[in-house]
């Protein structure tokens, strides 16, 4: 773990070898468990989720900017539109998957999907701010903490409540302003859907506070202030808690199962995320449980070097993490009551795309 501003320089050949090993092992483990889509199914699912993302983005923008006449929103990069749509669609698709086991089938399905899409976009935007500008990200997290997210979940706030008191340096940042608007929209939707279910809103508020704490801890520098166990815990929480929150938003209660379907799906994405980001995390010093579990602390400065990456590549660490990810994904789908079929190809398409598993190769 690099803590002094230095960045590990990884030779292109070594980075390619690591990336290829990750893809190879994930593809093998997913394939062995029947979790890989065919090229045709992947293309159909991708087309449907892209359309879903566009519809949800229109709804979110109308909610965030209700007074705009003939709404036109300009994004800095063309790819931003696709990423926003994908984040919205993934939240909605995950909610739809987790609703599979509900006895009434359509329980809040449409509204819960929009709520979960808005939530997933909000946390993705926060994560993006923290990754791009850590100093801005830390101030944004501090602002959220001061705004009392638990209280906001329990008691409905008026328009602009999260924007109020926003430091000028944050208010002047277009990305932060959009993030705050989407976050406000999420809380408004939460109160709209669960207006008479204070227990659900309280659970979500507590989960959000836990997620905020985990994100804050993961950004702390130097990371040597944390134990290895706490680092792994924070790494896992930032991936698993969002799925557990989507699960509560979808079913309207905390599931009694331990682990729940949402927890298992979150664990799968945690492992996949750390595998996909192995080189980037080693280079930048970000938390990565695969590296932490393989090597723990590397001396006083928590420094990984090229020998560590070469040793990981030669070990069974990548294969083991890939197998664990595939097991969690399969078991999460089963616990949710899902038999892999057309209705849930959308979720697998997102996972497969994120993991870099090209169905045509």
72 pLDDT more than 60: no
Cβ neighbours of residue 220 closer than 8 Å, sequence gap 6 or more: 226
pLDDT band at 76 (very low <50, low <70, confident <90, very high): low
Tens digit of each residue's pLDDT (9 = 90 or more) over 39-66: 999 999 999 999 999 999 999 999 998 8
Give CA–CA dist 348/346, Å, rounded.
6
The predicted pLDDT at position 286 comes to 80
Backbone angles phi, psi at 284, to 5 degrees: -95, -20
pLDDT band at 299 (very low <50, low <70, confident <90, very high): very low
Mean pLDDT of 320-333: 96
E strands, the chain, where?
none
Tens digit of each residue's pLDDT (9 = 90 or more) over 116-135: 999 999 999 999 999 889 89
Tokens of 306: 């090229």
Give CA–CA dist 122/119, Å, rounded.
5
Structural domain spans, the chain: 12-66+75-354
The domain 12-66+75-354 is placed in CATH, from the list 3.30.70, 1.10.287, 1.10.600, 3.30.930, at 1.10.600
Tokens of 109: 């399905």
pLDDT band at 361 (very low <50, low <70, confident <90, very high): low
Contact 315, 14 (CB under 8 A): no
**86 vs 255 pLDDT, higher one:** 86
Which range has the worst mean pLDDT, 8-17, 35-44, 210-219?
210-219
**333 vs 341 pLDDT, higher one:** 333
Contact 130, 179 (CB under 8 A): no
**298 vs 25 pLDDT, higher one:** 25
Tens digit of each residue's pLDDT (9 = 90 or more) over 131-160: 889 899 999 999 999 999 999 999 999 999
The predicted pLDDT at position 104 comes to 55
Mean pLDDT of 237-264: 91
């Amino acid at each position: 773990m690099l803590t002094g501003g230095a960045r590990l320089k990884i030779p292109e050949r070594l980075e390619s070898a690591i990336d290829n090993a990750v893809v190879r092992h994930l593809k093998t483990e997913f394939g062995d468990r029947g979790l890989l889509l065919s090229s045709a199914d992947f293309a159909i699912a991708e087309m449907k989720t892209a359309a879903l993302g566009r519809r949800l983005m229109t709804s979110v923008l109308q909610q965030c900017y209700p007074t705009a006449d003939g709404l036109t929103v300009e994004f800095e990069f063309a790819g931003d539109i696709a990423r926003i749509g994908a984040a919205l669609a993934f939240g909605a698709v995950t909610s739809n998957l987790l609703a599979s086991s509900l006895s009434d089938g359509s329980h809040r399905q449409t509204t819960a999907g929009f709520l979960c899409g808005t939530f997933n976009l909000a946390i993705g935007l926060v994560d993006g701010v923290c990754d791009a500008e850590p100093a801005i990200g830390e101030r944004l997290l501090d602002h959220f903490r001061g705004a009392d997210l638990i209280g906001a979940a329990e008691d409905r706030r008026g328009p602009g409540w999260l924007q109020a008191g926003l430091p000028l340096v944050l208010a002047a940042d277009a990305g932060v302003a959009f993030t705050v608007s989407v976050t406000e929209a999420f809380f408004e939707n939460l109160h709209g859907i669960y207006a008479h279910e204070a227990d659900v809103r309280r659970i979500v508020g507590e989960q959000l506070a836990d997620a905020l704490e985990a994100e804050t801890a993961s950004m702390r520098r130097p990371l040597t202030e944390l134990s290895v166990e706490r680092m792994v815990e924070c790494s896992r929480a930032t991936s698993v808690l969002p799925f557990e929150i989507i699960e509560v938003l979808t079913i309207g209660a905390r599931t009694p199962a331990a682990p729940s379907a949402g927890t298992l799906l979150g664990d799968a994405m945690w492992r996949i995320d750390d595998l996909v980001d192995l080189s980037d995390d080693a280079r930048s010093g970000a938390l990565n449980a695969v590296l932490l579990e393989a090597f723990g602390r590397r001396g006083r400065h928590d420094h990984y070097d090229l020998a560590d990456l070469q040793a990981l590549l030669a070990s069974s660490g990548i294969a083991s993490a890939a197998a664990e990810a595939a097991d969690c994904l399969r078991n999460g789908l089963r616990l949710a009551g899902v038999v892999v079929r057309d209705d849930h190809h959308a979720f697998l398409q997102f996972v497969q795309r994120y993991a870099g598993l090209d169905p045509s190769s």
